[in-house]
Amino acid sequence: MNALLEMQGISKHFAGVRALSEVTFTVEPGEIHALVGENGAGKSTLMKVLSGVYPHGSYDGAIVFDGEERRFGDITDSERLGIIIIHQELALIPLMSIAENIFIANPPGRFGVIDRGAVHQRTKALLAKVGLDEAPDTLVTDIGVGKQQLVEIAKALSKQVRLLILDEPTASLSEKDSAALLDLLLEFKAQGIASILISHKLNEVSKVADRITVLRDGRTVDTLDCRDGAVEEDRIIVKMVDRDLEHRYPRREPQSEEPGIGEPIFKVSDWSAYHPLHGERQVIRHVDFEVRRGEIVGIAGLMGSGRTEFAMSIFGRSWGQKISGRAEIEGREADLSTVRRAIDAGLAYVTEDRKQLGLLLAEDIRKNVTLANLPAVASSQVIDDLQELRVASDYRSRMRIRSHSIYQETGKLSGGNQQKVVLSKWLFTDPKVLILDEPTRGIDVGAKYEIYCIINELADAGKGVVVISSEMPELLGICDRICVMAEGAFVGEFPAAEATQERIMRAIMRKGEQRS
């Protein structure tokens, strides 16, 4: 079969740093071809070359599409041929309607006048193709992330897509929405539309991909054919990280000696919170919770169970209203009424959204590391540049942040290294209790392992660590104890030795049955 796309010997450098080296990559008509690799392996760079974000002349090598060499000057050139890329950060305008978002660049009309009727009808037809029954005039801000992802795909279909590129499309989706999106890709495949799927979720990749290409350090390592049988995840991982991960998670052996797991270091009692916009809606319901010194406690639950809302309401009342309850740190009542007071009391919270809420992406590593504890690098309220330099350099070394210097712009780091910068920022506050909300979302398996090792080190140093995660295998692999949340309340608790995915789900389902 003739390839729809051939990328031949693609090389790309940034300021002397090699991002891609002689990469070869092909896609056949109607194929779902997965592209995997660690953060920084070159996946997104390769796709930006393909889509024209990096124009011809800024890289070496050739792009052949439909049997002809193509030289894209920008993204509009690739879109004219039906090559459409959907980035992890969706390019939708929240306060515009679905129809306006889909046809913002090229609305149907005559003589410069937009045909509103045609926009409405074509939007309805496109939404039907992706399985959405929302009205075309619905504002994007009023629909969930999973539906927004489908709007992006409908937008791609409006451009007569032939090759659809999806960069981490399920990173922020629930299991149900993820499954629906993968089913949609299979439907497109049946219609002859080819897809390139970039994902760190190897179980999803194995489910739908016809072939899997592995990139490592900007080079093509291997292409695995899945059409004759599923490829084991461990085989993919070994290709990605160039080492045998005998265990996905570092060995967790809580010490019996000090600092080890000890007395409760953080405790909340009868904690409640109401929705910030709908004051009559109670979201967190009389929660009792504790974490002991040197302990890693996981919080499991489905999307909407209240895990993040609980964590944010504790951390300086960052979320909610009419918040009530008592909090103690090291046996003394703690004032958590503001973020500053929560930090001063010894609490730190690593948000699930590191790009929007955790980092200043336009600032360098140095500024981000010291951001939450500026008094520690200041003299008479003036930042001591030399002290800031020492602190940032120390954390860059300790956390193994891969960058050319501490002056590198944080937004240009890989996802795993951005997460290490966020962790550094909060560790510099010297917290007693660290809450990690989805700490490995959008991070490759190699970087995940490093984050897990850091979590272990924090617990071994006597910190109390709380991990909120939607990945139950992750919680089972790294936690000493797992609490299960449903509908704003804890509905189960298991020591690590007794916890299983089935028992956790059973606790969640029992809560649903009681409600019905």
Tens digit of pLDDT per residue, the chain (516 long)?
A: 689 999 999 999 876 678 899 999 999 999 999 998 876 788 889 999 999 999 999 999 999 999 999 999 999 999 999 998 887 667 788 888 999 988 887 787 777 788 888 888 889 988 888 888 889 999 988 887 778 888 888 888 888 889 999 888 876 666 777 888 888 889 889 989 999 999 878 888 888 999 999 998 889 999 999 887 878 877 887 787 765 545 678 887 655 445 557 899 999 999 999 999 888 889 999 999 999 999 999 999 877 789 999 999 999 999 999 999 999 999 999 999 999 999 999 999 998 888 778 889 899 999 999 999 999 999 888 999 999 999 999 999 988 888 889 999 998 888 788 889 999 999 999 999 999 999 888 777 777 888 898 899 999 999 999 999 988 888 999 999 999 998 899 999 999 889 988 888 788 866 544 544
The count of residues in the chain is 516
- Residues 364 and 370: beta-carbon distance below 8 Å: no
pLDDT of residue 16: 65
Q: What is the pTM of this model?
A: 0.62
Q: To which CATH superfamily is domain 5-241 assigned?
A: P-loop containing nucleotide triphosphate hydrolases (3.40.50.300)
Q: For tokens 């030289």, name the residue.
A: 71
- Residues 496 and 477: beta-carbon distance below 8 Å: no
The set of residues, in sequence order, having a beta carbon less than 8 Å from that of 509 and lying 6+ positions away, is none
Element (H, E) at 464: strand 464-468
The topology (CATH level 3) of 281-346+433-516 is Rossmann fold (3.40.50)
Domain ranges of the chain: 5-241, 281-346+433-516, 356-430
Report the Cα–Cα distance between both ends of the chain, in Å, rounded: 54
CA distances from 185 to 32, 33, 44, 166 (A): 8, 11, 20, 10
The set of residues, in sequence order, having a beta carbon less than 8 Å from that of 120 and lying 6+ positions away, is 99, 136, 137
**Do 5-241 and 281-346+433-516 share a fold?**
yes
pLDDT of residue 179: 84
HEC per residue, 298-327: EEECCCCCCHHHHHHHHCCCCCCEEEEEEE
- Give the three-class secondary structure for 268: strand
| Burial class (CB within 10 angstroms; exposed 0-12, middle 13-18, buried 19+) of 16 | exposed
Q: For tokens 């070394």, name the residue.
A: 397
pLDDT of residue 48: 92
Phi, psi of 305, rounded to the nearest 5 degrees: -80, -15
Phi, psi of 397, rounded to the nearest 5 degrees: -75, -50
DSSP state of 499: -
Element (H, E) at 49: helix 43-51
Residue 188 CB-half CA count within 13 A: 32
Q: For tokens 């989805």, name the residue.
A: 438
pLDDT of residue 60: 95
CA distances from 497 to 7, 448, 475, 476, 478 (A): 49, 22, 12, 9, 11
